[in-house]
Amino acid sequence: MTVLADATAARYTRLVTRRGPVSEEDLNAAYECGRSLAAGGGGVLDAVAMHEDAVRALCGECGGVLDADATDRVSGLLAEMLGPFEMALRGYRESNRQLVEARGEAEQANRSKNEFLSRTSHELRTPLNSILGFGQLLEMDELPDHQMASVQDILSAGRHLLKLIDEVLDISRIEAGRLALSMEPVMVGDVADSAMSVMRPLAQQRGISLNLEIGPARPLHVMADRQRLHQVLLNLISNAVKYNAPNGSVTLLCVRAGERMHFEIVDTGPGIAEDKLERLFSPFDRLGAEESQVEGTGLGLALSKSLCEAMGGSLQVKSVVGTGSRFWVDLPVAEGPAEIEAPRLSDEPMISSEDDAELKVLYIEDNPSNLKLVQRILERWRHVEVMSSIQGALGIELAQRHHPDLILLDLHLPDRHGAEVLDALRSDPETAHIPVVVVSADATPGEIQRLRDKGADDYVTKPLDVSQFLASLERVIEGESP
């Protein structure tokens, strides 16, 4: 405690132990001394401690017995000293009330945003389901060249729009802190090989050579969400291919640098001017490429950077005009999972159902276009009998009455949510065993996980990828995990 505080404390003690009537002036002086002590010394608790010392001194002078005058004096001083604490308590309660209200408003805003994202995803993806679904069916038919070219244009435009929707929603989820990541040790070689394999047809089409170089210490692992890392690499390699020079090259280097793994994508393209680099990760800013023939949304790099940061990494770039660009992703190195010995295959032959076995499928869906699309897809799959219902309640009744082999379930039904239908199916012994595949335009990870937790055997998002949709149905029918 400072010298000034000591002097103030001494004056305060003299004031509260002084004999005689307690005047208003004495009380005010004692109160001001207490405030000065708190401001110039060790804080409010020190002021209270000095007040206690003064009261003890007063009691000592009175032989431990306080007369009426002393009692009034102590009570008055105590009330004065408790005044700041009472005000502080009131302030705390008011601040706490405002905090609770603000938290409630924030939670409501977050729920509203989540509902908006879910509804937006559903409303945008639902019409694309028909466009891309029927487009894929037309692509399977033998059409004249000019009609096939038109179908390819429809599919290309639809997939471009779908990619834009997915990227906008992903960025929104990241900003809302709702991006679901499954962090695990990911083998560098596997994810790099996969990304290069996916991009090889596009590279061959454009005359670009792809090269993969991985450091000598294999296998290497990084801590990441495998799907998201794959998405980032695909985006970067795709850009390196699309914006490259004729007969150029793209190289993916994977090198360990201390406790970080370095993924570097090097291209031989025209490069990016230095004054444009700071705009490179801005959403919808394509740096003038929108005037070229190269397709793009202007969101890929912004999303990739956000994904890298969400996984504990970074995305950076260097470029030289006329030479090319280098993008690199840094992620933390991880210990690989222990190798598990593969089980020995049995010599007994596997028994599978016949390909033409008849199946009874119930599709609970209120959109006629979606219903028609799935019926057309199933016709190409197996000899299937399809029942349908546009309402959840009727769908439950049909399931109880006909015991189908498989139920396809939409979520946004006119009479009830599909989750309620799933609950009813799983709680009824008559239908609890029937496989249920949710087919919905709601592609939010939280909703997908929620329906899986409720007992859905699989969850397929619209717009449908026909081959993946049929593969999912095959797995469910065979009783395999998705």
For a pLDDT cut of 70, what percent of the chain falls above it? Answer: 66
3-state secondary structure of 471: helix
pLDDT of residue 345: 33
**Can you tell me the mean pLDDT for 296-306?**
78
Per-position b or e across 164-185, b if 16+ CB within 10 A of its CB? bbbbbbbbbbbeeeebeeeeeb
Which two three-digit tokens encode residue 163? 């990619």
pLDDT 10s digits, 17-42: 555 555 556 556 655 665 555 454 44
CA-nearest of 177, 158, 159 to 117 is 177
Residue 251: in which H helix or E strand, if any?
Answer: strand 249-257
For a pLDDT cut of 90, what percent of the chain falls above it? Answer: 16
**Can you tell me the mean pLDDT for 198-205?**
85
CA-nearest of 311, 366, 365 to 334 is 311
Query: What amino acid occupies position 61?
Result: E
pLDDT 10s digits, 169-195: 777 767 666 666 778 888 888 889 888
Comparing 296 with 358, which gets the higher pLDDT? 358
In this structure, is the dihedral angle defined by the CA atoms of residues 128, 130, 131 and 136, taken in order, positive or negative?
A: positive
Q: From 3.40.50.1220, 3.30.565.10, 3.30.360.10, 3.30.479.10, which CATH number describes the 183-332 domain?
A: 3.30.565.10
The vertex-127 CA angle with 108 and 171, nearest 5°, equals 45
Rounded to whole angstroms, how far apart are CA atoms 433 and 417?
Answer: 21
Cross-sheet strand order for the sheet of 384-389: 384-389, 359-364, 406-409, 436-440, 458-461
The vertex-84 CA angle with 79 and 85, nearest 5°, equals 85
Comparing 30 with 329, which gets the higher pLDDT? 329
Rounded to whole angstroms, how far apart are CA atoms 298 and 303?
Answer: 10
User: Does pTM surpass 0.85?
Assistant: no
Under 8 Å between Cβ of 439 and 395: no
Rounded to whole angstroms, how far apart are CA atoms 240 and 270?
Answer: 10
Under 8 Å between Cβ of 44 and 82: no
Band of pLDDT at residue 3, cut at 50, 70 and 90: very low
pLDDT 10s digits, 94-152: 777 777 777 777 677 666 666 666 666 667 777 777 888 888 888 888 888 888 888 88
pLDDT of residue 121: 66
DSSP 417: B
pLDDT of residue 329: 93
The CA radius of gyration of the chain, in Å to the nearest whole number, is 35
Cross-sheet strand order for the sheet of 260-267: 209-214, 249-257, 260-267, 324-332, 314-320
Rounded to whole angstroms, how far apart are CA atoms 142 and 285?
Answer: 40
Under 8 Å between Cβ of 8 and 41: yes
CA-nearest of 360, 364, 358, 472 to 425 is 364
Residue 84 has pLDDT above 70, yes or no: no
Rounded to whole angstroms, how far apart are CA atoms 64 and 58?
Answer: 8
Distances in Å between the alpha carbon of 236 and those of 83, 296, 436? 65, 12, 37
| Fold of the domain spanning 359-477 | Rossmann fold (3.40.50)
pLDDT of residue 53: 58
Under 8 Å between Cβ of 411 and 382: no
Residue 461 has pLDDT above 80, yes or no: yes
Dihedral (Cα; 287, 292, 297, 302), 10-degree rounding: -30
Which two three-digit tokens encode residue 406? 């498989």
